[in-house]
Amino acid sequence: MNFILASGNAHKAEEFGILFKDSNVTVKAAPTKLEVVEDGTTYQENALKKAQAYYEEFKKPVLADDSGINVEALPDELGIFSARFGGEGLTDKQRAELLLEKLLDKEKREAFFTCVLCFYISPEEIYFFEGRMEGEISDSYVGDGGFGYDPVFCPKAFPNKTVAELEEWKNANSHRAKAVESAVKFFKEL
């Protein structure tokens, strides 16, 4: 089954292509990027909004994803707003450092990443999957792999390393990898 990715990011389409290799799902970049207002209240709603917009435009099965990080000590600030934390115009690094600053001297550092995948085959048939990666916010910014909040997030499996230091592990164990795993299993059995 072939999907176009609801994103203007060619690199992201390539990443999904790799995650879905050895499955019966293929993912290609969309012909053009669309501007979609992501004003949903959950990852699922935002993924659905993106999927609908691309399906409406291109009339082909669409894969849309939405993801973010939830930080227990800052319940309303990240989550679906993760990419805008601290305001528009910040770099990934500035956002990650702002997060460290806000958690300075805080005991409570639990956090988890979420990835939601929406497979929008048509309005008649839509499937969602979600994956999570649990862990804690680190004390400092470490590592140069990954992106986003990876350099300030230590997964449960490696409490003393950030995901930015664990690229290989991340490829198989991230929230995105887990969501993809559920989807691959599902489409194999469908």
Q: Is 147 annotated as a binding residue?
A: yes
Helical spans, DSSP H, in the chain: 10-19, 43-58, 92-102, 167-173, 175-189
Q: What sign does the dihedral 180-13-42-107 (CA atoms) show?
A: positive
Q: How far is the CB of 112 from a second copy (least distance, A)?
A: 12
Q: How far is the CB of 127 from a second copy (least distance, A)?
A: 6
Question: Closer CB to a second copy, residue 60 or residue 161?
Answer: 60
Q: Give the C-alpha separation, 129 to 93, whole Å.
A: 29
Q: How far is the CB of 2 from a second copy (least distance, A)?
A: 19
Burial of 22 (0-12, 13-18, 19+ CB in 10 A): exposed
Q: Is 67 annotated as a binding residue?
A: yes
Q: Is 8 annotated as a binding residue?
A: yes
What is the dihedral angle through the alpha carbons of 79, 39, 120, 28, rounded to the nearest 10 degrees? -80
Question: Closer CB to a second copy, residue 52 or residue 138?
Answer: 52
Q: Give the C-alpha separation, 167 to 171, whole Å.
A: 6
User: What tokens appear for 124 in the block?
Assistant: 């008649």
Q: Which residues bind a second copy (CB under 8 A)?
A: 40-42, 44-45, 48-49, 52, 116, 122-131, 182, 189-190
Question: Closer CB to a second copy, residue 48 or residue 137?
Answer: 48
Q: Give the C-alpha separation, 86 to 97, whole Å.
A: 10
Task: Check 66, 92, 139, 144 and give the catalytic one.
Answer: 66
Q: Is 138 annotated as a binding residue?
A: no
| Overall size of the chain counted in residues | 190
Q: How far is the CB of 75 from a second copy (least distance, A)?
A: 14
Question: Closer CB to a second copy, residue 15 or residue 45?
Answer: 45
Q: Is 148 annotated as a binding residue?
A: yes
Is residue 66 annotated as a catalytic residue, yes or no? yes
Binding residues for Mg(2+): 66
Active site positions, annotated: 66
Binding residues for substrate: 7-12, 67, 147-150, 170, 175-176
